[in-house]
Amino acid sequence: MAKQVWGQHDFSLPYPVFKTELRLVTPADDTIPYTTCGDSVAITQRTVDGFLITTFSRSSYKNPPRETYPLIDPPSEGKVFYSTFTSWAEIANWYSNVTENKLEQTLELKAAADSLLKGVTAPKEKVAKIHHFITGAIRYSYVPFRQSAWIPQPAREVLATKIGDCKDMSSLGKSLLDYAGIESNLVLVNTRDRNSIYPTYIGPNFNHCILSYKLDTTVHYLDMTNNNLSANNLPRMDQGSLALIIRRGNNELTYLPIDSSSQRTVSRTINSTLDKDGTLIRKVETLKSGVFAGNIRANYRFSSQEKREKDLQKILVKSFPNIIIDTFNLHDPDSLRDTLRYSYKYTAKNAAQFSGKTVLIALNIPDRITGESYPSEEDRFYAIDMTHTWFGIGRYSLEGKLTIPKRWRLINKPEKISISGEWGNYTLSLKQKANIITYKREALFKFDEPIEIEESEKLKKVLSKITQADNIQLMFYLK
């Protein structure tokens, strides 16, 4: 990387600025190529004592206030990118050169691969075995004095010490995949540019390293640093990020794939009983997939049962303050399948409010949308990125049953509601038979593209309807 210059400067800071300048100084017969974004940056050039000084400046300004759910890289009133690199192939070739001797094959690596893959013939199963081994046996750690910012440790050392950062773990993964006969490459990733729609400068502007591998003709990606996801799932922070596959001559950036709604699912069954004193007993059985399953593992997998119940209680008291956790079971959290099943049961005293001959209870269903879940600004300046929300991409299914005292009569049965559009579908229905009320909610969201300012009011109206529907308040008359 000697004799190369690269970087960027943002002239659109979120606070008032009196004046800001960027100067590039080169010999008079040379230059540093640059591009600009926005039209508020003034550019001047002058020669002084045999040097060319290129100045980028912007006078005093105040940018629009910060907004909720913004693009990670919103439109800029002024940004300068500069780099003396001419192609991404230069970066790919450079990283190939500095890592190739870290991926050498050794007897130790071969022995590990032979033991790990004994009896395994299916390529997909080989990938899963290697991923499970590295995420389980290698502890993620980055220590600057013993690790380079760019160059991985030799794969054999990572195997021996059982410690490494993202590039170390990826290098070990590549070595084992080589032994498995599966074509793979290191991939440099810039997670700071998730879902970015604006260009970046050519240079080593990356902060993460993963693997790509090919089965048949399809390219897949593998992150060795997340020990709570299966080999089929990329962590949320990787998805949509700009990436460079390290293959000699590769001159193209790629965006890492973003999950479809069918890859992130939540399926729940709820069985509740409300007694005449207003005490609610509820059992919830849940099956989650993809990154949703990974989140549950990350929150509870390595905790004691006591801590698991305390952490769950902290979440549930937001719905019912007087709550006691009766049971909480995680089903096989250590097996990194695509799905994870868990169940819990709790008792909530004073869940219902009594007033004379009437009783009111909020169902407080899980996965409900609230007003805090989407943009609330009256006027926006920038587009909206709903992938920042917890529900932005996913399929959510819920079937519930509420048993009430036999002499209670429901007096405000909610109407069935159905909403469909380019961002997904939503239905909610409620039925009653004798003293049993059943309800069903189906929601599919696919906010995988930026939403332009012109669509923000439409978005708010749709999500406001869902918020109102999800806020199920049932009123009963006491006979």
Local structure of 328: helix, strand or coil? strand
144, two tokens = 């600057």
End-to-end Cα spacing for the chain: 82
Question: Cβ(401)–Cβ(270) under 8 Å?
Answer: yes
Question: Cβ(283)–Cβ(344) under 8 Å?
Answer: yes
Alpha carbon separation from 258 to 167, 255, 393 (Å, rounded): 22, 9, 9
Q: What pLDDT digit, counting tens, does each position of 234-270 carry?
A: 999 999 899 999 999 999 999 999 999 999 999 999 9
d(CA 152, CA 113): 20
As a whole number, the mean pLDDT across the chain is: 91
Dump the DSSP string for 229-247: S-TT---TTTTT-EEEE--
What pLDDT was estimated at residue 145? Answer: 47
Helix (H) or strand (E) holding 439: strand 436-446
Task: Tell me: pLDDT of 374 over 60.
Answer: yes
As a whole number, mean pLDDT of residues 290-299 equals 97
Task: Tell me: pLDDT of 376 over 90.
Answer: no
d(CA 38, CA 408): 64
8-state DSSP, 307? H
Q: What pLDDT digit, counting tens, does each position of 173-220 carry?
A: 999 999 999 999 999 999 887 656 566 789 998 999 999 999 988 999
Q: What pLDDT digit, counting tens, does each position of 436-448 carry?
A: 999 999 999 999 8
The burial class, CB within 10 Å (0-12 / 13-18 / 19+), for 58 is buried
Task: Tell me: pLDDT of 146 over 60.
Answer: no
State the Cα torsion 141-145-151-156 to the nearest 10°: -60
3-state helix, strand, coil in the chain (%, to 5): 25, 35, 40
d(CA 23, CA 42): 12
Q: What pLDDT digit, counting tens, does each position of 302-356 carry?
A: 999 999 999 999 999 999 999 999 999 999 999 889 999 999 999 999 999 999 9
What pLDDT was estimated at residue 74? Answer: 65
The burial class, CB within 10 Å (0-12 / 13-18 / 19+), for 88 is middle
CA nearest neighbour of 133 among 146, 115, 149, 145? 115
Q: At what angle do helices 291-300 and 305-316 cross, to 10 degrees?
A: 120
Question: Cβ(229)–Cβ(414) under 8 Å?
Answer: no
8-state DSSP, 434? T
The burial class, CB within 10 Å (0-12 / 13-18 / 19+), for 13 is middle
For 256-283, give one letter per residue: b (16+ CB within 10 A) or e: bebbebebbbbbbebebbbeeebebbbe
Local structure of 387: helix, strand or coil? helix
As a whole number, mean pLDDT of residues 269-280 equals 97
Q: Show the domains of the chain with their CATH numbers.
A: 6-84 (2.60.40.3140), 89-258 (3.10.620.30), 262-478 (2.60.120.1130)
3-state SS string for 356-383: CCEEEEECCCCCCCCHHHCCCCCCCCCC
